[in-house]
Chains A and B, each alone.
Chain A
């Protein structure tokens, strides 16, 4: 039995999680666990077609079904100017379709009834007639001559093109390519996938008919921003809107956007005067809410005769679905993709991106990713391994030769980023040593001689997380700062509230540890609350690995503010000058007389009972933190795979992951985040695929077709670390939750490509399934 003695819980201690108790007892409070008096249930009717004109909707039979209170259509929503809503990328999205349906699964009508079963029964009685139109399912189809116009309702929209976006310098890049000894090209498709948290999305909307106050319990990673969006969409005064994000059963980006179901449930509650619950089923979740990726990318890497990288050129076509609703800063149409030069000192780069409407679900969410960094990292790391193979240089050596060096930090990249810190060669060396790279290379060569198909893949990713600075990074204009409010009660216990929202990351523990470190109150005495916009300070939420970089910094800063006040109080209590006091975690003492001390608990009590003349009572504060820069976590991942020639099955033999996320506040929690991300990276590399047939039917609409890895498939992970503190973060911390999902897909696929390289196979797009590997081997005559 391990010890249960409570530790102080400062930074660097792997204390056990404070939030565990309720989950272990089945007493978590997830969205579907909320029941209000008089609550009704909503079911949504969705389009069976990818593209069709609605000719009629008949709700008479549905309205007459037992228990039905109302049937809502787009026409009714239009009467309240709510048939359309703005997206997070400055486009519009249909709430309930009025003219056409533009993807399979689009919201067409909703039934509100006394029970969930009654609502679903009645939904099936709504009769909708459609004129089916041809569907567009790829950017290629979207730009083809004669392609159907998807957004015909948009003024001035004459084709399916959404945006063109560029970064870097075209001229210098062209010049560098002209001088290159060799150019390596990779065309790859990062397919559509879905975050699929274990809990789907949903809400309970409760508009009080007496006060007009709208309380909306909602699966939201960003409740404050959502409150503002709701105020703008509905016209309700913002002080009359309260968003409460309860315990979330995972998010991974899926729970950032505003979905039509939330809007319809709120409108229904307003019109009916009773609370309305809407909970997606899994198919609704997979076919209609926040997909990710769907990038078609072509990268060219120019190198000189010595294997030094000279320039990078990338073009990508983005498949955005029927509405451009990427959740991303408004300045950047392709998210933060321009981090694509990665860990390498590439003097010049040029990136062009074009977005297209298709008859697929909207989304473009940052699935365990900082706004398209995953796509960028995948492209550069795959391209670098392919280049090494083509040049006949070892993958690790080629990377070492081209890494940005630690002494170049802060490093100004060719596309305008300022990397804050990092020692890439060091992380690489730790990973190679942990894998036993030289030995394993010999092992690979020996096995290949025996006819085995085996290989090693490496990826040395650089992430960019922790948005803002607010001048460059926003959500619909809201600057991406975050906040922390700290209240120390008279008995020395504390309450911390932030503008972020945990979805399983352990905020109740990690953020209490920051207070424990900075103000000396044990972590077990600090309660952490998030998610209720009536009580928490305004913040932009939890996604893009920003909670520790931004709200964590805000927590440190507010704790320091209170410590400054505590010093004044201690000076009063100890009758000593402030400058004569020393701080030791948890107490102030008089220099040279450690016995003359006051603990933070004694000081807190005095803040309410025994104040110096003229001092404001209380020990509370709030801090809004707008970071000066992003943080740049990085690492090197190394994977060994063995491939069965007869079946194409890929088995991961080893997976070594060395991460550098700066200072780790709770190493146990950080390690847990890395495990989870490596598993999702594996899932994306080998299993998860949302695809469509030619008519736009979504293939991958349930967990039988959309494959998530179980414990049986998921490899075991061997983790390691280096520590390069962020120079601008008050604690030296960086974000980490997404690094493993960003870095690992390329490492897995590079291992497969390395294994197949003796046969001249240079690419297989994800997911790398057995049938694709087998077909590739067969095309080279390696297998029958």
Chain B
């Protein structure tokens, strides 16, 4: 059946069986492979996307359930080629190693900052506790989200969007 949804601000459509998982629709039909499958059972959070701004695990939703609704995936974070505050935070604080959990972590981080722009370390740890990481021991992920919060606050004070940084590495 035909399904249409708004993904990263653009109307996207596809033809899928009703049983097709949202994550498979994103990865196979829309070729948005930044959303990863880590466990298939909602246990790891690698497939997290934002549905109307709220984190959901796309391995546990059907594509058809999202018809007509609004999704954000990792591919929607950078604006005009420049990285968002959350992406800059992960780069600056070494919040990623293998990168597999990173899209889900960043999206959960954004959802947290949207409702709580100034979270404590404990609040960040609780917010990301539905997402597993095997590489970092979480310390630098917590710092990365806090870094993004600081960038957002500085930008708000300056009355503009957070200044974005091109990331080439080596800086």
Residues of A within 8 A of B (CB): 1-7, 9, 15-28, 30, 32-33, 116-117, 195-200, 247-250, 252, 281-282, 503-506, 508-509, 512, 522-524, 668-669, 671-672, 675-680, 702-704, 708, 710-712, 714, 716-717
Contacts and interface: CB of A to CB of B under 8 A. Distances in A.
Nearest to B44: A703
B132 A524 contact: no
Contacts of A708: 44, 132, 134
B129 interface: yes
Given A20-B90, A30-B36, A710-B128, 13 more contacts: A4-B166, A17-B94, A18-B169, A24-B106, A25-B74, A26-B103, A197-B100, A282-B43, A508-B169, A509-B169, A672-B136, A672-B140, A680-B134
B102 A24 contact: yes
A523 B98 CA distance: 20
A116 to B, nearest CB: 8
Chain B interface mostly: loop
A668 B94 contact: yes
B36 to A, nearest CB: 7
Contact of B102 (A23, A678, A704): A23
Given A197-B98, A703-B44, A710-B130, A16 B171 contact: yes
B170 A20 contact: no
Nearest to A680: B134
B148 to A, nearest CB: 12
B122 to A, nearest CB: 9
B12 to A, nearest CB: 15
Contacts of B39: 281-282, 702-703
B151 A524 contact: no
Contacts of A33: 27, 33
24 contacts: A1-B151, A4-B171, A16-B170, A24-B96, A25-B77, A25-B78, A28-B99, A32-B36, A198-B36, A199-B36, A250-B97, A252-B134, A282-B44, A504-B97, A508-B169, A675-B137, A675-B138, A676-B137, A703-B44, A708-B44, A710-B129, A710-B132, A710-B138, A717-B139
A33 B23 CA distance: 12
Interface string B89-119: 0111010111111110010000000000000
B171 A506 contact: no
A23 to B, nearest CB: 3
B168 to A, nearest CB: 6
Contacts of B35: 26
A712 B132 CA distance: 10
B2 interface: no
A47 to B, nearest CB: 20
Given A1-B151, A19-B169, A668-B94, A249 B136 contact: no
A652 to B, nearest CB: 12
B167 A703 contact: no
A529 to B, nearest CB: 15
B46 interface: yes
Contacts of B40: 281-282
Nearest to B96: A23
Contacts of A710: 128-132, 138
B125 A711 contact: yes
Contacts of B32: 26
Contacts of A198: 36, 38, 44, 46, 98, 100-101, 132-134
B22 interface: no
B141 interface: yes
Tell which of B20, B41, B139, B140 has the most Cβ of chain A within 10 Å. Answer: B139
